[in-house]
Amino acid sequence: MLDQKDENKRKECYDGKMLQYKREKENFGAVKKVIEKEKYSGQKQAKDVADYSTLDMNSQLIMNLRDLGHVIRFLFEGKSSQKRVLIILSEVGKITQRDLTKRLGVQPASASEVIGKLENAGMIERTPNLMDFRTMDICLTDEGRKEAEKAVRERTMRHQEMFSCLSAEEKKTMLKLAQKLNEDWVERYREGK
């Protein structure tokens, strides 16, 4: 099973509202209620600053994207969470610790900590790389594969639930718009520009 300390650290990162959200969310069906609360809460907070309906469209878009970001950040594993590592390993099979660290986008010490915990829990095993004995290959154990399959199923259900209020056409439109924004913002706000 995944390390309880990591779960506790993760919980501490969220304010009281997000902790209450987690307690209330016992199954994926409860997510709808929580998102509604978040939406209402975001609109209520906006009303404290200014009446939401009087804000310009750009401000309303930003507020909604911010609120969606909070929900997404809460629902998903962090950059280097144990579940994310298990999912990556289930996708790639075997990977070097260096490549896994790059893929996670974290510092080597952070990756080593998570890898060590997974190894101690019997989820992964490290073996010397056949091409470079200074490098370690990481792969799932049988128990790790079971946990990874469970994490993938949970993620798939979460993805389906999150977008269940949209039709296929609305999803295509939203994806197109999100990709357009992403491409523009990457260029517009890149470092050094």
56-59 contact pairs (CB < 8 A, 24+): none
Q: What is the pLDDT of residue 191?
A: 74
> Rounded to 10 degrees, what is the CA torsion of 58, 59, 61, 63?
160
Length of the chain (residues): 193
Residue at token pair 């404290």: 48
> Helix, strand, coil: what percent of the chain each, to 5?
70, 5, 25
Q: Which helix (H) or strand (E) holds 176?
A: helix 168-188
The beta-strand segments (E) located in 84-171 are 95-96, 124-128, 136-140
Q: What is the pLDDT of residue 29?
A: 46
Burial of 167 (0-12, 13-18, 19+ CB in 10 A): exposed
Structure tokens at 183: 């491409």
pTM, entire model: 0.61
Q: What is the pLDDT of residue 193?
A: 62
> How many CB atoms sit inside 10 A of residue 94's CB?
12
Query: What is the chain's pLDDT, residue by residue, as a tens digit (193 residues)?
Result: 445 554 454 444 444 444 444 444 443 444 455 555 555 555 555 445 557 778 889 988 988 898 888 888 777 765 558 999 999 999 999 999 999 999 988 899 999 999 999 999 999 999 998 888 888 899 999 999 999 999 999 889 988 999 999 999 999 999 999 999 999 999 998 876 6
Q: What is the pLDDT of residue 142?
A: 96
